[in-house]
Amino acid sequence: MAHSIEDRVNTLVQEKIADREDLFVVDVKMHSNGKLEVLVDGDQGISIQDCAAISRHVGFHLEEEDTIQHAYRLEVSSPGIDRPLNTVRQYRKNIGRTVEVSLQDGGTVSGKLVEVAEESIIIVEKIKEKGKKAVEQQRMIPLGNITTIKVLISFK
């Protein structure tokens, strides 16, 4: 049942943002605690007004259609900086930022995200050997080898 709610909400959001090339859906999730979470982002970020408009559109249609039989809270927001990126479009938006990439083999790599292609990303990592100056090295990582990518926030 939960999947049909998520699919319906995804469709409603897509309808609402159809005229906005810069906006895209990141995730729709119905949590067991009744929170219906809709994460939307934009190539240049997303405003509170956009989130509110999407929320009104989705909420109105869910009520009209009586889609959800139990109490729920609809939350429309942009993914927090601490959320892993999960679409290629989000990867592209974060080119130039430092990311931490978790790999299928359990390892992690961090560096500056410099390129996003269809099948892979390229990061520049700093390799520091004892007693030597750090060298920057480009590393291509196939998308299939990635479990998660998170933006690292620097407070320097």
Class of domain 88-151: mainly beta
Buried b or exposed e, range 27-54, using 16+ CB within 10 angstroms: ebebeeeeebbbbbbbeeebeeebbeeb
Category of 140 on φ-ψ map: left (φ > 0), alpha (ψ -120 to 50) or beta: beta
pLDDT score of 14: 95
pLDDT score of 81: 77
Per-block mean pLDDT, blocks of 10 residues, the chain (156 long): 81 95 93 93 91 95 87 90 86 92 93 94 90 91 94 75
Distance CA 115, CA 95 (A): 7
pLDDT score of 123: 96
Task: Read off the pTM.
Answer: 0.75
Domain ranges of the chain: 2-77, 88-151
pLDDT score of 112: 95
Assign domain 2-77 to its CATH superfamily. Answer: RimP-like superfamily, N-terminal (3.30.300.70)
pLDDT score of 155: 67
